[in-house]
Amino acid sequence: MTRSFKTLYVALFLLALLPTSLLALSSLASYDMPADPEVLDGELARSIEHHYDEEFPLKQFGINLWAALEYLAFGEGRAGLVIGKDGWLYSDEEFDAVADGQRQIRDNLALIRGVQRQLEQRDIHLLLAIVPAKTRLYPEHTGSHSPSALQRNLYPSFHQAVQAAGIAAPDLLGPLQAAKRDEQVFLRTDTHWTPEGAEVAARTLSEVIRSAVPLRGEPQQFVTETVETRDHQGDLTRFLPLAPLFDSLMPRADRLQQRETHAAQAGGGDLFGDRDIPVALVGTSYSANPSWNFAGALRQYLERDVVNHAEEGQGPLVPMLKYLQSDELKNNPPQVVIWEFPERYLPMAGDLNDFDPNWLAALKADGEQQKLAAANR
């Protein structure tokens, strides 16, 4: 490069940088200095840096532009997302082989059997509701992506393992596959089922319970109503940061029928009263999130109230282990515990650091004894 060309290059670069720099400096006008800032220890500098980073004018543009390039050129989003056909999005947890997955499956199955043994000792029936993967129900939209061998075999092997241990686990895949011919049972842009899919699962589980266990109390009528139909941007769209600059590239939003279930008679369905509730629900966001109304559908088909101990963002193991140690289980034991357990979590390690490792080891040992007892039977 000649000297004159270098000079021109630097001048053009500074000229391009100047508007951005002025915009960035203008963002400091909205900065609120913390009270009594500490200059010497860097607190003030960190505060300004954080504000500058959040308000940097090209930050959102850069994020949107890079996401658009990945999406248009390679059909990819951020790590965690698999982009299928026809606007369908999937979690990569349903595709990828899990490191040391077989060992984790054995550990989790031991915990599941240990939970059953703990409940059995309290004369409580465990009903395992294994939620099929979205890829299993809608493989026609996955495009060129294919689940690993471990993922493909997960649902039948999960059922086989728990049935061998004597744990009741009704098949939900067949009823959901039958229902999908008439209605959408999983959301296109979300990892979860639709309220229609949740209702199919609730009806199937309720039929099993009512045929096997005479539930306490008098039957109670519950009514489910559609309160609104709205656009729903699924949780998987977070891995596709195209908005607001390239919002038109986003898959179209799902249409969600928001349902609510309430007791037909005024004063019924109070979960915080002193009534004897025969069924408890434990699980993940499939049960905890009111958008799907899974607990409500269970109430309607069981004709009994259901106490819901499901939690979002914790996986299926943590809420159940917390419930096992709760005063609620000790003081108000139900007849039946429905444990909603998405199949994709079986080979995954849960964050169990808040639990006593000795207690967990004893629970697994109980599970191994349960396995041997079931084999002998």
Active site residues: 190, 192, 285
Is residue 322 exposed (0-12), middle (13-18) or buried (19+ Cβ within 10 Å)? middle
Query: Please, what is the angle between helix 101-120 and helix 154-164, to 10°?
Result: 40
For the stretch 68-77, contacts whose Cβ atoms lie closer than 8 Å and that sit 24 or more positions apart, written own/partner, are 68/242, 68/245, 68/246, 68/249, 71/240, 71/242, 71/249, 72/249, 75/143, 77/239, 77/240
Is residue 143 exposed (0-12), middle (13-18) or buried (19+ Cβ within 10 Å)? middle
Sign of the torsion angle spanned by Cα atoms 46, 49, 54, 59: negative
CB atoms within 10 A of CB 101: 18
Question: Are 137 and 185 a contacting pair, CB within 8 Å?
Answer: yes
Question: Are 305 and 220 a contacting pair, CB within 8 Å?
Answer: yes
Question: Who contacts 46 (Cβ-Cβ below 8 Å, separation ≥6)?
Answer: none
Q: How far apart are the C-alpha atoms of 146 and 289, rounded to whole Å?
A: 29
Q: How far apart are the C-alpha atoms of 334 and 126, rounded to whole Å?
A: 10
Q: How far apart are the C-alpha atoms of 196 and 186, rounded to whole Å?
A: 8
Secondary structure element (H or E) that encloses residue 106, with its range: helix 101-120
Return the half-sphere exposure (C-beta side, CA atoms, 13 A cut-off) of residue 279: 27
Q: How far apart are the C-alpha atoms of 91 and 70, rounded to whole Å?
A: 17
Kindly report the backbone phi and psi dihedral angles of residue 58, in degrees, each rounded to the nearest multiple of 5, phi listed first: -95, 0
